[in-house]
A and B are shown apart, each in its own frame.
Chain A
Amino acid sequence: MTTTPRLTRDDVAHVADLARLTLTDDELDAFTGQLADVLDHAADLEALDLDDVPPMANPLPLVNVLRPDVPVPAGDAEGAADFHAEVLAAAPSVEDERFRVPPVLGESP
């Protein structure tokens, strides 16, 4: 059984960066300790032999919750056209009925 290496300050900075969070040095110090404690708590489970226990994907005792492939107009009773108008009206910037966003480098991953 291996012990999980302790979380480093760099790990926390990396995760914060991925989450687009700007943390101060003080915050980084504080969160590194807190997050490491959380992970240590979870690591306690490693003391148990869980080889025969399948990972739990969801706490609900359900599988195969499916809906039929039938269209339903979005929004209220007014339907899709109104929903279209409503969301575009709520957008900060619209061009040619599309959402206008700042330039992004590269394509989506």
Chain B
Amino acid sequence: MSNQALIPGWEVVIGLEVHAELATVTKMFSSALNQFGGKPNTNIDPVSLGLPGSLPVLNEKAVELAIRVGLALDCVIQRSVFARKNYFYPDMPKDFQISQYDLPINGEGSLELPDGRRIGIERAHLEEDTGKSTHVGGGGRIHEAGHSLIDYNRAGVPLIEIVSAPDMRGAEEARAYVSELRAILVAIGASDGKMEEGSMRVDCNVSVRRDGTTELGTRCEVKNINSLRSMGRAIEYEARRQVDLIESGERVEQQTRHWNEDDGRTHKLRSKEEAYDYRYFPEPDLVPVEPSDEWIAEIRAALPMLPRERRRRLADAAGVEPSATALTVERGMDDLAVDTIAAGADAARVLVHVENNLADGVGELTAASFAALVAMETGGDLTATQAKTVLADLAASGGDPAAHAADHGFEAMDTSELEALVDRLIAEHPEVWAGFVGGDDKERRKKAGFFVGQVMRATQGNADGRIVNELLARRATEQGA
């Protein structure tokens, strides 16, 4: 991964807080539906609305999913206690949010990026989501709104908040972290990880320091990031803003800042001096959660393969570095690739096809037909271009690669046939041939391109360009060039 200095002489330090909605059927503390979209204020009940006398009861599935997340991130799973986080805001009708404070369900852990680097996880705790506010008037901008409208469908939806250590050093690494975390959450069925629907939200803590220093700079927290792309832009903008401040002799003030997608800047929401004083205290209406070793073991045993395990498995099968398998795993095609390689196919060709030629998905392609196709290709019966065409057929309709090849009229060209064709073309175009024989590398490539093009035209694309190039080189050598 490239983590080239964004600003020469400066290091950017990033820690991320990721909120993911857990994929439960019902809410965290009540039996109303946890469902995205739908008519406003329909998935509500007395608990979601914080009506007097209503009491929370914890959803077992939310705890199980939180433990899955903890296990996938190698966290310490521990006894946890819910706490009230007190503040007044209309999207939270109780005037406090139930969260976890000093005793989160998941303690320290780590996440492994596709390139092998590990990012520390400080904690991953359970909390409830708030309702959704829509600001009306002032063009939807929060500071100018005339009034706000509240939909409590989301209030009380279970969230896991995953807090990383300040271990990332650039926007690219932060994106890699969020992508990997999302892949893990989706793989273990904990969340659908949809940033665009808000089921996964990222707050970035950004600070800068001069190269060679180890002390952390004053950080700002950037909120309102709605996509991986926005996150990269927000981090880069914020880092530059902080460096500009310091270089002009000012200080960075600890602030919460709001990313504005339209103007591409971050704007101050509040400073540390105005920071909320949440007055956390243990939630008296809920008892501690103490998952037994048996329960944790049961959840661990049921965990599916994690992305990092999939990368390693394919890397072992293909004899490459795990980072070289990231794209295949990301596309969910690693099972196919592993099975195809196990069926005897050339691993390098399998990875090339999966990464470049299956953009529309695997479709009807099976490991057996894929392996048969790659065998035809490596055996010289199909050119790379022909193999790509047949691969598309196999994905679209399944079947036998040899039959598809025959349908297209793809037949392995006899080399002697090809040689005769090349010799004829050399004779027909002596000036081009002279350019090939006498030219420098660039000229030679250009002229070779001409001959390959002529051969392809004469054979309706059935010739293997690699072999044509070899023939040309051989003829040139024979002529003493």
> Which residues of A approach B to under 8 Å, CB–CB?
14-15, 18, 20, 57-58, 60, 62-72, 74-75, 80-81, 83-84, 87-88, 95-109
Contacts and interface: CB of A to CB of B under 8 A. Distances in A.
Given A70-B26, A88-B41, A101-B148, A107 B289 contact: no
B63 A66 contact: yes
A75 B43 CA distance: 11
B31 A70 contact: yes
B159 interface: no
Nearest to B89: A108
B287 A99 contact: no
Given A69-B59, A71-B26, A99-B90, A84 B41 contact: yes
A98 B277 contact: no
Nearest to A66: B60
B150 interface: yes
Given A20-B88, A75-B45, A64 B287 contact: yes
Chain B interface size, as a band, is 35 or more
A109 B287 CA distance: 26
Nearest to A20: B88
Given A18-B86, A107-B223, A58 B287 contact: yes
A72 to B, nearest CB: 4
Question: How would you classify the secondary structure of chain B's contact residues: helix, strand, loop or mixed?
Answer: loop
A106 B269 contact: yes
B299 interface: no
A22 to B, nearest CB: 14
Contacts of B30: 74
A96 B149 contact: yes
Contact of B149 (A63, A71, A83, A99): A99
Contacts of B89: 104, 108-109
Contacts of A15: 279
B260 to A, nearest CB: 12
Interface string B65-88: 000000000000001010000111
Interface stretch (B13-21, B138-146, B239-247, B409-417): B138-146
Nearest to A14: B277
Contact of B87 (A66, A99, A109): A109
